[in-house]
A and B are shown apart, each in its own frame.
Chain A
C-alpha cells in the first residue's frame, strides 16, 4: 500500500503546529504564567518597601522563585488535556516513539510558558533593581534552568496524568526535584553579586540539562504508559 509514514521530523512538525494553533485559540490562558510571575515580583517589590538597596539584595532569588512557581502553575496542563480527550492514546499508537512526542510536547510547553518569562525577565529585573551587571548571569541561569525545570516537571506531570485531580500532588512531587535547580540557579546570581565566579553553578545547570534532555522524555513516556493502564 502506498503510504506516507511519518518521520520523526514530520511528526514533530505536526505536533508543534497543533500546539501553536491551540495556543492561539486559547491565548488568554497562555498569558497566565507570565502574569503570575509579574504578580509575584510586583508583590515582593511592594512588600519589601520599594527600597532599591533592599530589593537589589534579593532580586535574583525573587526572580528565580517567581519563574519557578509560574512554571509549577502551568505544569498540570502539560499532558492532562491530552490524556482526557484520548490524544495520548493516539500518540502511543503513532509509529514514532512516545518519548520523542513527549520531548517535542515538553519543548513546546517550555517555549510557550517559560520563554515569554525569559523575555520579560529584563523588565522584571529592572523592577527589582537588580544591578545591571548581574543580568547576564541571571539570564544565562534561567536559560539553562527553565528547560531543566520543564523536563523534570514533565516526568512528574506524566506520573500524575492518570489521576483525575492531581492538585497539590504535582507540587509535592516536583518541589524536591526543583530544589537543586533553584539552589544552583539563584546561587549563580548570588555568587556574581558577591564577586565570585558564577560559571561553576551554570555548568552544573548545563550538565543537569543535558542529562535531563536524554533521560526525562524516556522516563515521562514510561510513566505515561503506566498511568494510562
Chain B
C-alpha cells in the first residue's frame, strides 16, 4: 500500500523540455504532466510544434534540453519505447501485405496485450471483413482505423496521438473518442494533438496550448 500522503507520480512528466532545429527554437521550454486516467490535449496552429513535441516524447527526435519522466523515473528514448504507443502521420503499413498481416507484424515488433487478438481489434475499429484486403487497397481513413487497431493492441500505457481525427468520418471520430475513453478507464493516458476543429474526447482533460516559439502557455 502506498501511504496516502505520497500521491502516485504522474505517468508522464516533462520539465523544461525544448527542441530547436538548426538553432531555431521549435518549442519550449515546456513543463507539463499527465496522470494515469487523464488526457492531455495539445492545441496549436499549424507549425506550432505539436508534431515535433510528440516525436520528441516518443524518442524519434532528441530534445535539446529538459527531462522526461515516466512513472516518476528519468528515462532516455530507448527506455521510453516500452511505455509509449505512437500514432503519427505515416501509418507504417506495408502496401503489399494484407491488413491482418500488417497488424500481426506490428504486434510482433511492439508487443501485444495478452487478452487482445488482432482479428478482434479489427472488429472494434470497424474493419471486420477487410482482414485479407491489401493495405494498398484501403482508403486513408481505413488505414487510420488499422493504425488505431495497432494502438488498441499495444501494451503501452501512454498513447501519443498526432491528429488522430484526420481522414476519419464521423463514426471514426466517435471511435477515437470511445477508444481513448476506454484506454483511460483502464489506467492509461493519452496525448492528443488537434488544431481545435474537433470535439475532444469526453474525459478528464488537461490542455496544453502551443504557439509559435517564445509564447508557450500551459494551462
Do B157 and A1 touch across chains, with their CB atoms under 8 A apart? yes
Tell me the residues in window 94-111 of chain B with beta carbons closer than 8 Å to chain A beta carbons.
Answer: 94-97, 101, 104-111
Do A85 and B95 touch across chains, with their CB atoms under 8 A apart? yes
- Chain A residues near B89 (CB, 8 Å)? 86
A91 at the B interface (CB under 8 A): yes
A90 at the B interface (CB under 8 A): yes
Provide the main secondary structure of the chain B interface: loop
A165 at the B interface (CB under 8 A): no
- Chain A residues near B84 (CB, 8 Å)? 93
Distance in angstroms between the alpha carbons of A215 and B134 in the assembled complex: 36
Interface size of A by Cβ–Cβ distance < 8 Å? 33
B219 at the A interface (CB under 8 A): no
Interface size of B by Cβ–Cβ distance < 8 Å? 38
Closest-CB distance, A72 to chain B (whole angstroms): 24
How many Cβ-Cβ contacts under 8 Å join chain A to chain B?
103
Closest-CB distance, B88 to chain A (whole angstroms): 6
Distance in angstroms between the alpha carbons of A86 and B60 in the assembled complex: 12
Nearest neighbor of A26 in chain B, beta-carbon distance: B96
- Chain A residues near B86 (CB, 8 Å)? 89, 93
Tell me the residues in window 66-99 of chain B with beta carbons closer than 8 Å to chain A beta carbons.
Answer: 78, 81-82, 84-86, 88-97
Distance in angstroms between the alpha carbons of A1 and B153 in the assembled complex: 12
> What are 16 of the A-B contact pairs (CB < 8 Å)?
A4-B113, A6-B110, A14-B105, A15-B105, A18-B94, A18-B97, A21-B97, A85-B91, A89-B88, A90-B110, A92-B60, A92-B81, A93-B81, A93-B110, A95-B81, A97-B78
| A interface, CB within 8 angstroms of B | 1-6, 10-11, 13-15, 17-18, 21-22, 25-26, 81, 85-87, 89-97, 101, 228-229
| B interface, CB within 8 angstroms of A | 58-62, 78, 81-82, 84-86, 88-97, 101, 104-115, 155, 157, 186-187
